[in-house]
Homo-oligomer: A and B are copies of this chain.
Amino acid sequence: MIVSALATAVGINLGLTLLLASAFSLLRRRAPYVSVYSPRRPYAPLESWIAAAWRRSEEDIHAASGLDGVVFVRIFVFSIRVFAVAAVLGVGVLLPVNFMGDQLSLIDFADLPNKSVDLFSISNVKDGSMKLWLHFSAVYILTGVACYLLYHDYKYIAGKRLEYFMTSKPLPQHFTVLVRSIPRTDGGSVSEVVDKFFKEYHSSTYLSNTAVHQTGKLRRLLNDTEIIWKKLKNVKYVPRQLPTENPPRKFLGLFGRSNILGKYQKKLENLEENVRMEQSDATRRQEISAAFVSFKSRYAAANAIYIRQSDNPTEWQTEHAPDPHDVYWPNFSTTFMERWISKFVVFVASVLLIIVFLIVVTFIQGLTYMDQLEEWLPFLRKILEIAIVSQLVTGYLPSVILHFLSSYVPSIMKQFSTMQGFGSVSGIERSACNKMLRFTIWTVFFANILTGSALGQLEIFLDPKEIPLKLAVVVPAQAPFFIAYVVTSWTSITSEITQTSALLYHLWGSCAKCCKRDDADPETQSMHYHSEIPRILLFGLLGLTYFIIAPLILPFILVYFCLGYFIFRNQLCNVYAPKYDTGGRFWPIVHNATIFSLVLMHLISIGVFGVKKFPVGSSLLVPLPLLTLLFNAYCGNRFFPIFEAYSTESLINKDRQEQSKPEMAEFFRNLQTAYTDPAMKPIQRSSGYDGRTAPLLSSV
């Protein structure tokens, strides 16, 4: 890719970004769009949204979207800090050095636009030149800074996690244990068996249990009632809603409204009758060998989780109970064996997905090489020879396609994680986040690098000591593509704030209202951490791996993170409502991913110095990855357990804190019903029944 092509890409995206941003600034306060842009705060502040996003304190964000929101914003803060330093080093020192080098012997400012961007990459530095010491020390400095920040933030978030635990109001999930694979003995109901077991072995601390039922059919029925109920509502309120309209009246005129009302009424009654039957039926028969068991103290619950209950490890398996709103009910019917095999199946499936995607990416990559493209599609030659088109195609199109395709993967990965039988949405999304991360790194990063040069390169991973050298050859070759990729991402992240899809849906919805009476009010969505976090981490990976190779990428990445910082602070407060709070358990993923990126950077640098005839540098770099891994192992020992479980110290102190409080009696009363399947609750029309959340719990 030549400089002008890059310029084109930057131009286009800058344009789009500004366009979208200003569109948002204009629309956000207009009445019809408020439900899209700040469903959570109907009245947007008059000041500019950027200022508002800037002013918000961490407390606001925690209040608005829990510790996970705080962690999510923290990722941007961390990245901005790291890449501020990186950009200073890269653009301030390395870039000029590279540019002044004359390895590629194309240094004249005459027609810079038509020069390759490699001019700014390390490939332009003379082999074995002393200037490489600058690159060498840059690697050490950046690693040092990154590790310091990693330690600092890990500690900070671990602290926050404990702090919020100690200051939280009593939460059902802290007192409750999810028990699975309960052995069905002598035909007693699950609930009885559980009662017997825990009364025997936890007599002093056991409070109550809630057996889980097979409610698939019930859930379907309830959805139907929902639909009918909505229709009914619409029919009822037609007159007051559209007093002047004609077509609907006529439309209704065809067969009087009363008929329709009656029809729906009847349908509804039948359905609700069925629901009640099904509910009582479920309680009687369709029990699943899983139950939520509540205890009188947090410490007691912890005991039940961390000490194996039964002599047979495959029975009475206990785990942390999720937040009642967070429970994923359909999954409880799976047995130990099923869960355990599905893990294996899912692993295979996700590997296959990666391979399939690799093939697609290979084609996309082809686009960056005009000649290949012209071979495949000769009839296009004429068009492709137009400068601007070719620049578009080489510099811009591939990354657009890649963005587009990638956008479908998260939902697939989430599906996979769902198959693994987690009991909570948060569990599913955390595992999906890990899958996405592996996927992104493999397809977007390695795939592009390997396919970009030659798929044959794949075998380099089979010869360990060769890896750095090979990487050093293939990674730089892809610098232009990734610079374009980063630039394109500006648009995609800005389109996040304009909620393009939601906006369209909203517009369509509002027009739809007129013709077919269906109030399609977009319920507030939740943040998709499992798709956002890996994307952000990918840019961290790109920035670090290309830090010394092509420092030109750094400012673009920095811009990306700054955009993200403002946009998501706004989104977290105004748009997304948290569906769960894992208490910051996404951070370890971020930490490990960053360590991986650092080590990869080291390997590549070692290779690059080798290629650049700078053996001293490569050999002096060898200790760095080892030190980084040791540092990571230490952090793992020092902080990770805090994200896995709370300590006796915290648990007992917290319990003591509340012993005396009067409201606890009330809490324990509610706790006993906290984990009843919403589908099993009597239908409450008043609160407009909603399949996902259990109204009862607002009191807990």
Of the candidates B304, B310, B633, B648, which one forms a contact with A308 in the assembled complex, judged by CB atoms under 8 Å apart? B648
Distance to closest chain B CB from A627 (angstroms) = 11
Can you name 23 A-B residue pairings with CB atoms under 8 Å?
A: A162-B311, A201-B652, A299-B307, A303-B648, A306-B307, A307-B645, A307-B648, A307-B651, A308-B646, A308-B648, A309-B647, A309-B649, A313-B637, A313-B638, A313-B640, A313-B647, A314-B637, A314-B638, A336-B637, A340-B634, A344-B630, A344-B633, A462-B464
Asked if B201 contacts A308 (CB within 8 A), the reply is no
Distance to closest chain B CB from A188 (angstroms) = 18
Distance to closest chain B CB from A698 (angstroms) = 31
In the assembled complex, A495 has its CB within 8 A of some CB on chain B? no
Asked if B308 contacts A641 (CB within 8 A), the reply is yes
Contacts of A162 in B (CB 8 A): 311
The distance in angstroms between the C-alpha atoms of A648 and B307, with both chains bound, is 6
A445-486, CB < 8 A from B: 459, 462-464
Question: Assuming the A-B contacts A344-B630, A630-B344, are A649 and B310 also in contact, with contact meaning beta carbons closer than 8 angstroms in the complex?
Answer: yes
In the assembled complex, A639 has its CB within 8 A of some CB on chain B? yes
When C-beta atoms are compared, the residue in chain B nearest to A650 turns out to be B311
Copies per complex of this chain: 2
The distance in angstroms between the C-alpha atoms of A308 and B306, with both chains bound, is 10
Of the candidates B201, B462, B648, which one forms a contact with A309 in the assembled complex, judged by CB atoms under 8 Å apart? B648
Contacts of A638 in B (CB 8 A): 312-314
In the assembled complex, A73 has its CB within 8 A of some CB on chain B? no
In the assembled complex, A642 has its CB within 8 A of some CB on chain B? yes
Distance to closest chain B CB from A634 (angstroms) = 7
Asked if B302 contacts A647 (CB within 8 A), the reply is no
The distance in angstroms between the C-alpha atoms of A340 and B302, with both chains bound, is 27
Does more than half of chain A's interface fall in helix, strand or loop, or is it mixed?
Answer: helix
When C-beta atoms are compared, the residue in chain B nearest to A197 turns out to be B649
Of the candidates B302, B336, B633, which one forms a contact with A307 in the assembled complex, judged by CB atoms under 8 Å apart? B302
Contacts of A642 in B (CB 8 A): 311, 313
Q: A303-B303, A307-B647, A313-B642 are in contact. List 16 more A-B contacts (CB 8 A).
A: A201-B648, A201-B652, A302-B307, A303-B307, A306-B306, A307-B645, A307-B651, A308-B641, A308-B646, A310-B649, A311-B642, A311-B647, A313-B637, A313-B647, A314-B637, A462-B463
The distance in angstroms between the C-alpha atoms of A634 and B313, with both chains bound, is 11
Contacts of A641 in B (CB 8 A): 308, 313
Contacts of A652 in B (CB 8 A): 201
Distance to closest chain B CB from A397 (angstroms) = 36
Contact with B along A299-325 (1 / 0, CB 8 A): 100111011111111100000000000
The distance in angstroms between the C-alpha atoms of A311 and B163, with both chains bound, is 11
Distance to closest chain B CB from A223 (angstroms) = 37
When C-beta atoms are compared, the residue in chain B nearest to A203 turns out to be B652
Contacts of A309 in B (CB 8 A): 647-649
Of the candidates B201, B307, B647, which one forms a contact with A310 in the assembled complex, judged by CB atoms under 8 Å apart? B647
Contacts of A201 in B (CB 8 A): 648-649, 652
When C-beta atoms are compared, the residue in chain B nearest to A653 turns out to be B201
The distance in angstroms between the C-alpha atoms of A634 and B306, with both chains bound, is 21
The distance in angstroms between the C-alpha atoms of A463 and B652, with both chains bound, is 54
The distance in angstroms between the C-alpha atoms of A652 and B340, with both chains bound, is 29
Contacts of A651 in B (CB 8 A): 307
The distance in angstroms between the C-alpha atoms of A344 and B459, with both chains bound, is 30
Question: Assuming the A-B contacts A201-B652, A638-B313, are A645 and B308 also in contact, with contact meaning beta carbons closer than 8 angstroms in the complex?
Answer: yes
The distance in angstroms between the C-alpha atoms of A634 and B337, with both chains bound, is 9
Contact with B along A632-671 (1 / 0, CB 8 A): 0110011111100111111110000000000000000000
Distance to closest chain B CB from A217 (angstroms) = 32
The distance in angstroms between the C-alpha atoms of A642 and B315, with both chains bound, is 12
Distance to closest chain B CB from A459 (angstroms) = 8
Asked if A308 contacts B647 (CB within 8 A), the reply is yes
Contacts of A647 in B (CB 8 A): 307-311, 313
A270-317, CB < 8 A from B: 299, 302-304, 306-314
Q: Which 6 A-B pairs have the closest CB atoms?
A: A313-B641, A306-B306, A308-B647, A309-B648, A311-B647, A307-B648
Contacts of A308 in B (CB 8 A): 641, 645-648
Interface centre among A310, A313, A344, A463 (most CB of B within 10 A): A313
Contacts of A462 in B (CB 8 A): 462-464
Contacts of A302 in B (CB 8 A): 307
Asked if A639 contacts B463 (CB within 8 A), the reply is no
Distance to closest chain B CB from A456 (angstroms) = 14
When C-beta atoms are compared, the residue in chain B nearest to A344 turns out to be B630
When C-beta atoms are compared, the residue in chain B nearest to A642 turns out to be B313
A145-191, CB < 8 A from B: 162
The distance in angstroms between the C-alpha atoms of A69 and B526, with both chains bound, is 59
Contacts of A639 in B (CB 8 A): 313
The distance in angstroms between the C-alpha atoms of A302 and B308, with both chains bound, is 10
Distance to closest chain B CB from A454 (angstroms) = 18
When C-beta atoms are compared, the residue in chain B nearest to A162 turns out to be B311
Contacts of A637 in B (CB 8 A): 313-314, 336, 340
Distance to closest chain B CB from A467 (angstroms) = 11
